[in-house]
């Protein structure tokens, strides 16, 4: 995997035209299970707010699955991804985070926002440090509560599987969970900053003999 280009003077926030450019590239190279722009944003969000950020060489394989056409394309796409990643951090620092969401077409021809892609990406971002997330979720209900809106949307969209029997979200409940995403993301980021992984949790991960990106994918669903 190519390294992220070293362009220290780039503007971190992507303009709308650049987001569209990245979106079109991802759509043109979308194979089975590929993330689109909303999914990439969800992945980068989970990585940014989680217990221990993964380096680009860890998360880029979740996004890029085919060789670039040439060096020019490689540099451009890697720059856009690096800036998207940097922009997530800047939005979090400034309290201005907004998720990039997809759209679905309704039966009446109208469109509505969908969290499915973003949640799929978020799940993959969590999986990059799965053991640290799971170690804390197993002992601290506060983190589970903070994840509430994200989990509700992910379960409703079929991204997360659970043994519990949850009724589908109503339209108003779905919209309310969408509205809660920025605050939930900010609260989770604050949680991990204030309560980072303990030496015991880090030692437990190392003792397991597997890296945190170990997957438990079954039947197209991400199991947590």
Do 80 and 22 meet the contact criterion of CB atoms below 8 Å apart? yes
Over residues 86-143, the pLDDT tens digits come to: 999 999 999 999 999 999 988 887 889 999 999 999 999 999 999 999 999 999 999 9
DSSP designation for 129: T
The answer on pLDDT for 5 being more than 50 is no
The partner residues of 161 in beta bridges, in order of sequence, read 223
As a whole number, mean pLDDT of residues 203-212 equals: 68
Alpha-carbon distance of 99 to 103, in angstroms, equals: 13
3 state SS of 22: helix
Average of per-residue pLDDT values in the chain = 88
- Domain map (residue ranges) of the chain: 16-223
Paired sense of beta strands 221-223 and 160-161, if any: parallel
Say whether pTM exceeds 0.85: yes
Average pLDDT over residues 184-198: 98
The full 3-state SS of 31-99, as one line of letters, equals CCCCCCHHHHHHHHHHHHHCCCCCCHHHHHHHCCCCCCCCHHHHHHHHHHHHHHHHHHHHHHHCCCCCC
- Distances in Å between the Cα of 2 and the Cα atoms of 61, 64, 90, 217 are 10, 10, 24, 27
Q: Sorting pLDDT into bands at 50, 70 and 90, what band is 11? A: low
Alpha carbon separation from 132 to 124, 129, 147 (Å, rounded): 14, 6, 15
Cβ neighbourhood burial of 111 (10 Å; 0-12, 13-18, 19+): exposed
When the candidates are 1.10.3470, 3.40.600, 1.20.120, 1.25.40, the CATH number that belongs to 16-223 is 1.20.120
Cα–Cα distance for residue pair 189/202, rounded to 1 Å = 18
- Chain segment 39-51, per-residue pLDDT in tens: 999 999 999 999 9
**Residue 204 confidence (pLDDT):** 83
Judged against a pLDDT cut of 70, whether residue 212 lies above it is answered with no
φ, ψ at 74 (rounded to 5°): -60, -50
Which helix (H) or strand (E) segment holds residue 6: the answer is none
pLDDT at 8 over 70: no
- The tokens describing 92, both together, are 């979090």
- What are the Cα distances from residue 119, in Å, to 110, 123, 199, 206? 22, 6, 29, 28
- Give 13's pLDDT tier (boundaries 50, 70, 90): confident
Distances (CA, A) of 55 to 41, 52, 140, 192, 213: 15, 10, 26, 17, 12
Give me the pLDDT at residue 209, please: 56
Q: Is residue 102 within 8 Å of residue 113, measured between CB atoms?
A: yes
- Mean pLDDT to the nearest integer, 188-203: 96
């Amino acid at each position: 995997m190519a390294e992220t280009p070293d362009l220290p003077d780039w503007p971190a926030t992507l303009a709308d035209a650049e987001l569209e450019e990245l979106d079109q590239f991802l759509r043109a190279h979308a194979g089975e299970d590929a993330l689109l722009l909303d999914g990439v944003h969800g992945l980068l969000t989970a990585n940014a707010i989680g217990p221990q950020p993964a380096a680009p060489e860890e998360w880029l394989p979740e996004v890029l699955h085919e060789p670039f056409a040439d060096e020019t394309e490689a540099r451009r796409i890697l720059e856009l991804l690096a800036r998207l990643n940097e922009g997530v951090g800047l939005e979090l620092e400034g309290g201005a985070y907004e998720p990039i969401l997809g759209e679905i077409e309704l039966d009446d021809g109208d469109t509505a926002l969908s969290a499915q892609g973003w949640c799929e990406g978020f799940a993959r971002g969590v999986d990059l440090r799965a053991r640290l997330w799971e170690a804390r979720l197993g002992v601290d209900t506060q983190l589970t509560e903070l994840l509430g809106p994200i989990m509700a949307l992910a379960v409703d969209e079929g991204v997360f599987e659970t043994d519990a029997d949850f009724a589908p979200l109503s339209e108003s409940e779905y919209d309310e969970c969408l509205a809660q995403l920025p605050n939930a993301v900010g609260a989770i980021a604050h949680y991990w900053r204030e309560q980072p992984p303990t030496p015991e949790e880090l030692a437990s991960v190392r003792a397991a003999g597997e890296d945190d990106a170990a997957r438990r994918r079954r039947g197209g669903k991400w199991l947590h």
